[in-house]
């Protein structure tokens, strides 16, 4: 079974530019999550999709970030315009069922390392 994949693995852009990150969850996983780790800080939740619907976007830092999951399959996270503080590693995760404990283990992708210069 293919795991969660993310593209690109690395992105270096200039301040003010736009970047779009892509996540392909494990096939059949309705739940898709975005997280971010800024250097030296803990991983932070950004948002959660259930199929194509945004279930919880309370972690999105500001309106420069736009996440979509059209059709309930892959998801994109667009940053426009990018700022220096957006640099970090963006992880995507997916899970199958909703519930507690290990029944809803979130499987993580390898992350996209974003550097804004």
Sites of contact with another protein (CB under 8 A): 31, 33, 35, 41-45, 48, 55-56, 58-59, 91, 95, 98, 100-102, 104-106, 108-111
| Whether 82 contacts 92, CB under 8 Å | no
| Whether 94 contacts 29, CB under 8 Å | yes
Q: Give the H or E element holding residue 26.
A: none
Residues facing residue 114 across a β-bridge = 11, 88
How many CB atoms are located within 10 Å of the residue 21 CB? 20
- Collapse the DSSP code of 51 into the 3-class scheme (helix H, G, I; strand E, B; otherwise coil) and give the result: coil
Supply the minimum distance, in Å, between the C-beta of residue 35 and another protein. 7
17 or 106, CB closer to another protein? 106
51 or 104, CB closer to another protein? 104
Supply the minimum distance, in Å, between the C-beta of residue 81 and another protein. 27
Supply the minimum distance, in Å, between the C-beta of residue 87 and another protein. 15
9 or 117, CB closer to another protein? 9
């Amino acid at each position: 079974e293919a795991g969660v994949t993310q593209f690109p693995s690395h992105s270096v852009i200039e301040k003010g530019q736009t970047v779009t990150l892509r996540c392909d969850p494990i096939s059949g996983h309705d739940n898709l999550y975005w997280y971010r780790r800024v250097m030296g800080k803990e991983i932070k939740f950004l948002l959660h999709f259930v199929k194509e619907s945004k279930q919880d976007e309370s972690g999105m830092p500001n309106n420069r970030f736009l996440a979509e999951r059209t059709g309930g399959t892959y998801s994109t996270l667009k940053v426009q315009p990018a700022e220096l503080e957006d640099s970090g590693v963006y992880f995507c995760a997916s899970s199958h069922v909703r519930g507690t404990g290990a029944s809803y283990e979130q499987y993580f992708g390898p992350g996209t390392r974003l550097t804004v210069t």
